[in-house]
Amino acid sequence: MQSGEVLLEVVRNDLVESIHSGHLLILDSDGREVLALGELDQLIYPRSAIKSLQASAMLRAGVKLNEQQIALACASHAGSDAHLEVVRSTLASVGLDESALLNTPDKPLGALERAAWVGPPSSLAANCSGKHAAMVATCKTNNWNLASYKNPNHLLQLAIANEFEILSGEQITHLAVDGCGAPLFALTLRGLARAMRSLALSADPIHKSVIRSCINNPVLVSGINRLPTLLMQKVDGLFVKDGAESVMVMATSNGEVIVWKISDGSQRGAGELARASLAHLGINLDIEPEYVLGGGEVVGEIRASKLLL
């Protein structure tokens, strides 16, 4: 991956100590580029930022999920009791339990939830369990094989790939395995932005239900005090989803889109980058700065680079 442009600066006592470079694209409501930084046509792994596309494909395949279950299918959840209860409800809706989940076992993603967790890592506690519960529920609904649902050639994954291609306008040419074990399809950042804009503006009832479910249940999509949740709580009608290795997607109901990929995979400064990016769309975000400490005192902060100002 090419490093791209400097997006964030870590400042300590008025000196830039570190930088985070990456690739960022902002589109206005007409789909025009407001700001384009970095290499936007190289392939990236969008990771969990595209769970909304996976959820759309599963609903199209016939799985019946309520609003909370759809939000959990799109989630990288913190692993709270509320999150896990909804995952269990998705499984129970088709007569399954957590033994059907084949995602990589883990402890909860949220710091407080992880500290409170008792017992070994589990597929239920892992942050992708909502997506995997929806996947096995889709398979059960269609009488598709449950044991092989992670295979890229499974009917479920072919349906997901088709949804990706339709919404992004790109052909899937590169496959990988995500951290949770599910297939991962590479897109360009422009393709990712196009997919999010298509999703946000779609008149398709399935797409509308996915966006609405996430916006109406921001805590289920991520967790209390986690950035995607905070952004959706602070900005009416904003859809937000992050992915591992510092991928982010945001979309408004008017089709305005922000996508980025930080080259070093760091999540540091994501809140500031969100604030600076949303300002280009006329959205003023009140969010706590990410400070740099020295001797227990504030001596600097993480700021957006001049390219975003």
CATH at residue 169 = 3.40.710
Q: What are the tokens at 116?
A: 């409170």
**pLDDT tens for each residue of 170-200:** 999 999 999 999 999 999 999 999 999 999 9
Confidence of residue 232 (pLDDT cuts 50, 70, 90): very high
Q: What are the tokens at 161?
A: 């790939």
Residue 90 · residue 133 · CB < 8 Å: yes
pLDDT of residue 250: 98
pLDDT at 47 > cutoff 90: yes
Mean local confidence (pLDDT), 246-270? 98
**pLDDT tens for each residue of 105-136:** 999 999 999 999 999 999 999 999 999 999 99
Query: Would you call 105 helix, strand, or coil by DSSP?
Result: coil
Mean local confidence (pLDDT), 278-289? 95
How far apart, in whole angstroms, are the C-alpha atoms of residue 119 and residue 101? Answer: 17
In terms of residue numbers, what domain contains 12? 5-308
Query: Would you call 94 helix, strand, or coil by DSSP?
Result: coil
Chain mean pLDDT for the chain: 97
Q: How many DSSP H helices and E strands does the chain contain?
A: 11, 12
Mean local confidence (pLDDT), 231-259? 98
How far apart, in whole angstroms, are the C-alpha atoms of residue 304 and residue 6? Answer: 9
Between helix 189-201 and helix 205-216 the angle, nearest 10°, is 100
Q: How many domains does one find in the chain?
A: 1
Residue 164 · residue 65 · CB < 8 Å: no
